[in-house]
Amino acid sequence: MASGSGTEVDTERFRTLLLEERERVRASIERFHEQNSGSLEDETEEETYDNHLADSATATLNREIDYTLEENAEHVLHAIDEALQRIEAGKYGLCGRCGNPIAPERLEAIPYANRCIDCKRLEERG
């Protein structure tokens, strides 16, 4: 390994991956906004009390799912930004909870991961 950097992770490669992933996530957030803009008002205007309650319940449910997806996407976006900051700080690839290195295969799968698999499991359980 090259000396001096203090980290064994190829941060330049992960920086590229993270920037690509950030563009993807941001594009999908924009799609959510495009799909949702106006649709809420359309549905509300069409709402008549002759319609089944089930219809508006379904519309509400769909909207909640969209918001959940959007929240997830924004959560990922935030995690990506933090990962990029960790690269700048020279702390990329270290668990934010216990400080141990995150397994390389885990970073390959989730470049913005900030928990080692052990801590992740603990958090999901608790």
CB of 115 to Zn ion, least distance (A): 6
Residue-by-residue DSSP string for 93-110: TB-TTT-PBPPHHHHHH-
CB of 98 to Zn ion, least distance (A): 3
Both tokens assigned to 42: 């359309």
Q: Does 119 bind Zn ion (CB under 5 A)?
A: yes
Binding segment for Zn ion (CB under 5 A), chosen from 3-11, 14-22, 23-31, 117-125, is 117-125
- Total residues interacting with Zn ion, rule: CB under 5 A: 5
3-class SS of residue 94: strand
Of 95, 111, 112, 114, the one binding Zn ion (CB under 5 A) is 95
CA-CA distance, 56 to 118, in Å (whole number)? 43
Give the residue with the Cβ less far from Zn ion, 79 or 116: 116
Q: In 3D, which of 79, 83, 108, 71 has the Cα closest to residue 15?
A: 83
Give the residue with the Cβ less far from Zn ion, 22 or 92: 92
